[in-house]
């Protein structure tokens, strides 16, 4: 009797675990792009009287050496930076930024700080596990001290891994995007500055983000991403967009999204958008943004 009872309960528990795993896996890729924006009040501080300028030259050096810019996607030469044994350049840049206090910077200098840091962390994380076919192949860290990171074990990718310490606070990629950059700045163009290490994501920009060029750079990345085929395609009269746009918290409805796209796209797409009344399909290419040497 007891053996049968235990067997039934073990089978019941195993079924529940399997269902949770299946549900988690089915929603994992969607979750990556739909994390809620919850502002972290500590980081919502700045000193607009500050004239301090952060040196991003080491990150620019990496981009100059290993970034390959093409019209529809920009690729990073992970093989070459490893062959040259120059991974340390990325790590040293991150360590240098970690020694700065971003809340003592003015608004644009601070924005440039977080964008460049995020992109460098993406590249550094991929290099630490390379070769991989996708950033989704990199497993999340398991932490029993935090239920959020514990549950994230069933998700894809390194988004909740604590990758850097700023002002004695551990931060993840999701912290930087969804608790600092997106909710604090509230600028739709910021999402186009951030590369997830995927072909489908916004490209790594070949020029480091700086405060003095920030207004121009924000428009430039928006124009580039929205005019790329991976972002907007017309297939048999149907509109196919990047899933990044579907899951963005920036758009209130379809009309708001189309209006935003129209602002940054070319004349041909503007004409098509003006006549468009159908449904929208979405896609995203999670393959690694790798420049192959083979």
The Cα 233–Cα 227 span in angstroms is 9
40 burial type by CB count under 10 A (0-12 exposed, 13-18 middle, 19+ buried): middle
Q: Structure tokens of 78? A: 């992970």
Q: What average pLDDT does this structure show over 28-54?
A: 77
Q: What is the pLDDT of residue 146?
A: 45
Lookup: tokens for 82: 């490893």
Terminal Cα-to-Cα distance of the chain (whole angstroms): 63
The CB density around residue 118, as the number of other CB atoms within 10 Å, is 23
Residue 61: CB partners within 8 Å, gap ≥ 6? Answer: 89
Residue 2 has pLDDT above 80, yes or no: no
Both structure tokens of 150: 């514990």
- pLDDT at 22 exceeding the cut of 50: no
Global confidence as pTM: 0.85
In the chain, the percentage of residues whose pLDDT exceeds 90 is 76
12 pLDDT band, cuts 50/70/90, is: low
What's residue 38's pLDDT? 75
Predicted confidence at residue 272, as pLDDT, reads 95
Tens-place pLDDT, residues 172-216: 999 999 999 999 999 999 999 999 999 999 999 999 999 999 999
What was the pLDDT predicted at 65?
A: 98
Q: For residue range 87-111, what is the model confidence (pLDDT) as tens digits? A: 999 999 999 999 999 999 999 999 9
**Token digits of residue 269:** 């797409």
Q: Cβ-count burial of 66 within 10 angstroms (0-12 exposed, 13-18 middle, 19+ buried)?
A: buried
When pLDDT is averaged across residues 261-276 and rounded to a whole number, the result is: 95
How many Cβ atoms from other residues are within 10 Å of residue 19's Cβ? Answer: 10
The DSSP secondary structure of the chain, one letter per residue, reads -HHHHHHHHHHHHHHHHHHHHHHHHHHHHHHHTT------GGGS---TT-------HHHHHHHHHHEEE-SS-EEE-HHHHHHTT-HHHHHHHHHHHHTS-GGGS-HHHHHHHHHHHHHHHHHHHHHHH-S-S-GGGSPPPP-TT-HHHHHGGGSSSSTTSEEEEETTEEEEHHIIIIIIIIIII--GGGGGG---SBTTSPPPPSS---TTTHHHHHHHHHHHHHTSTTTEEEETTEEEEEHHHHS-TT-SSHHHHHHHHHHHS-HHHHHHHHH--S-EEEE---SB-B----
Tens-digit pLDDT profile for residues 230-259: 999 999 889 999 999 997 888 999 999 999
């Amino acid at each position: 009797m007891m053996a049968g009872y235990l067997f039934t309960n073990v089978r019941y528990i195993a079924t529940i675990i399997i269902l949770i795993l299946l549900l988690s896996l089915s929603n994992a890729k969607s979750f990556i792009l739909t994390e809620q924006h919850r502002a972290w009040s500590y980081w919502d501080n700045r000193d607009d009287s500050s004239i301090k300028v952060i040196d991003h030259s080491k990150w620019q050096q990496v981009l100059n050496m290993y970034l390959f810019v093409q019209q529809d996607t920009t690729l990073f030469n992970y093989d070459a930076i490893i062959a040259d044994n120059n991974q340390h350049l990325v790590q040293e840049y991150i360590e240098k930024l970690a020694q700065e206090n971003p809340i003592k910077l003015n608004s644009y200098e601070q924005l440039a700080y977080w964008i460049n840091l995020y992109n460098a962390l993406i590249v550094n994380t991929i290099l630490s596990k390379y070769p991989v076919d996708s950033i989704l192949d990199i497993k999340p860290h398991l932490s029993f001290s935090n239920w959020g990171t514990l549950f994230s074990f069933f998700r894809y990718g390194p988004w909740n891994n604590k990758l850097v310490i700023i002002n004695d606070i551990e931060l993840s990629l999701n912290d930087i995007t969804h608790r600092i950059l997106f909710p604090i700045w509230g600028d739709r163009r910021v999402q186009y500055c951030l590369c997830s290490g995927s072909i489908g994501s916004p490209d790594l920009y070949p020029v480091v983000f700086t405060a003095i060029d920030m207004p121009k750079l924000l428009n430039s990345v928006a124009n580039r991403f929205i005019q790329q085929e991976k972002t907007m395609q017309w297939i048999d009269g149907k509109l196919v967009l990047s899933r990044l746009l579907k899951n963005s918290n920036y758009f209130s409805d379809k009309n708001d999204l189309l209006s935003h796209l129209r602002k940054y796209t070319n004349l041909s797409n503007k004409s098509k958008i003006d006549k468009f009344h159908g449904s929208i399909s979405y896609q995203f290419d999670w393959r690694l943004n790798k420049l192959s040497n083979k």
